[in-house]
Structure 1
């Protein structure tokens, strides 16, 4: 297929574009930032750029991974988020369904962040005694910032265009896979690698798994038609664990992984005292046929193979 990938210079794009090319696809990368995987330097907010990229390259499929992200909230005003994340998505959808277009599938990279309200984010401070079990049926959605609001609005545009045109659209609400330190790291005493390892229990995946999920979504889109999926490493937890996860998470983790304390102790690592949310990605397994290759059990196996010295980031690829 001829595939347009937006955000081709970004973290996901750097892994997705080569994977698609290895699969025999012809990929056109679109990004405002030049990069080795970017063929068209421009913004999705520019309708003319989008139109030319689709038509000049006879695009058959679009992966829309380009966006302003949460870290950009501090440096861009809300109108810029609307221009890029909302209008940019509409530009792509409308050009994909315009007369003469050869596009027959669309994959949109969304985010689990839009599912996190202020209540969920502040659950522990507010004295809420159960972790939130988060799946695709959770409602109402009340994003807490312009990033989440703009991504939710873009999801609604995806559904609207699918309903009016029958363009197959798959929405992937990806959990965390960014390499940067968490924006709340200053409130936690663990190392960055320790934090990321913990998060594989409930809200993280590798960038390789994120890229692979998009490849699977491209393949399955015509059969599925339209749907939304949470993409995160499979959690070992169940809804029955939610009370104790908020009360004292290490006890729950020890029940599922009896050796985790021993493995962590060799590095001076610790588990979070509480876990306030759990992303359930079983729908992606059942309907999309996708499961992340790396989960918390795999992380423990990798750590157990180490020599007992706290590893550098380069030795734990899931933390980068």
Structure 2
């Protein structure tokens, strides 16, 4: 299959492009920044370029991972987010469904960030007594910044184009898989790896799992037609845990992973005092047939191995 990957020089693209190629796919990478997996340096905001790439490369499948992301808010204005994340997505969708196009499937990389309202972000400060259980049915969606707003707008465009043309489109709302430090890390956590390990309980996945989810979505898109999926490591928690997670999360974690305290103690690590949200990725397991390979339990096993236990 001839596949276009936007954002091919980014963190996801660097993992995704080699996986696709190793599976025998013909991949064209498009990104404004040069990179090993990038064949064409340019932006999805350039409609003429998008049209030319889709036609000349006879693209059949699109994985649209290119975007301005949350860290870019500090150095890009809102109009740039709209140009790239909204107009760029529309350019791809409309050219993919134009007469003569060979595109028959589309996977859009969205984000769980668009599901986090100011109320959720400030849950503990506001005295909310239960962690938010976040799944694809959660409404209303009230993203708190231009990144989330632009991604939600692009999701709506995807649904609109599917409804009008029938183009199979899968939206993947990925949780955190970036390597950078978390800009909202709890103050008690001083170690980047400690923070990331904790997050596998409720809002993180590996970049390898993120890439694998996109490959599965590309394959399944014609059978599914249109749908939206949260992609995150499968949480051990259930909605019944939400009250205790907000009160004192270590007790809940201890119930599911009795050895975590011992493993963490060897490294001087700590668990978050509270967990204010949990992403539920069970729909992806049921309907998409995808489950992340790495979860919190796997992280504990890896830590044991590193410690020689």
Question: Do Structure 1 and Structure 2 share a fold, with TM-score over 0.5?
Answer: yes
Unaligned runs of 5+ in 2: none
Cα deviation digits, residues 92-122 of structure 1 (max 9, x gap): 0000000000000000000000000000000
Which residue of structure 2 aligns with residue 317 of structure 1? none
Cα deviation digits, residues 193-226 of structure 1 (max 9, x gap): 0000000000000000000000000000000000
Q: Distance in 2 between matches of 1:214 and 1:107?
A: 7
Residues 267 and 308 in structure 1, CA contact (< 8 A), matched pair in contact too: no
Q: Distance in 1 between matches of 2:93 and 2:62?
A: 9
TM superposition shift of 1:188:
4.0
TM-score by length of 2: 0.99
TM superposition shift of 1:308:
6.9
* SS of match in other structure, 2:267: coil
Residues 86 and 151 in structure 1, CA contact (< 8 A), matched pair in contact too: yes
Q: Distance in 2 between matches of 1:105 and 1:173?
A: 17
1:34 aligns with 2:67: no
Residues 44 and 89 in structure 1, CA contact (< 8 A), matched pair in contact too: yes
Which residue of structure 1 aligns with residue 191 of structure 2? 191
TM superposition shift of 1:85:
0.2
Q: Distance in 2 between matches of 1:151 and 1:303?
A: 35
Which residue of structure 2 aligns with residue 132 of structure 1? 132
Residues 2 and 27 in structure 1, CA contact (< 8 A), matched pair in contact too: yes
TM superposition shift of 1:146:
0.2
The alignment yields a C-alpha RMSD, in angstroms, of 1.0
Which residue of structure 1 aligns with residue 148 of structure 2? 148
Q: How does 1:1-320 map to 2 (within 5 A)?
A: 1-185=1-185, 187-307=187-307
TM superposition shift of 1:189:
3.0
Q: Distance in 2 between matches of 1:80 and 1:153?
A: 14
Q: Distance in 2 between matches of 1:187 and 1:4?
A: 41
TM superposition shift of 1:304:
1.0
Q: Distance in 2 between matches of 1:186 and 1:285?
A: 30
Q: Distance in 2 between matches of 1:188 and 1:224?
A: 43
Residues 2 and 26 in structure 2, CA contact (< 8 A), matched pair in contact too: yes
TM superposition shift of 1:34:
0.6
Tell me the matched-pair count: 309
TM superposition shift of 1:233:
0.2
Cα deviation digits, residues 110-156 of structure 1 (max 9, x gap): 00000000000000000001000000000000000000000000000
Residues 133 and 277 in structure 1, CA contact (< 8 A), matched pair in contact too: yes
TM-score by length of 1: 0.95
Which residue of structure 2 aligns with residue 312 of structure 1? none
Residues 170 and 225 in structure 2, CA contact (< 8 A), matched pair in contact too: yes
Cα deviation digits, residues 265-290 of structure 1 (max 9, x gap): 00000000000000000000000000
* SS of match in other structure, 2:18: helix
Residues 190 and 270 in structure 1, CA contact (< 8 A), matched pair in contact too: no
Structure 1 range deviating more: 49-58 or 182-191: 182-191
* SS of match in other structure, 1:83: helix
TM superposition shift of 1:305:
1.2
Residues 189 and 270 in structure 2, CA contact (< 8 A), matched pair in contact too: no
TM superposition shift of 1:187:
3.3
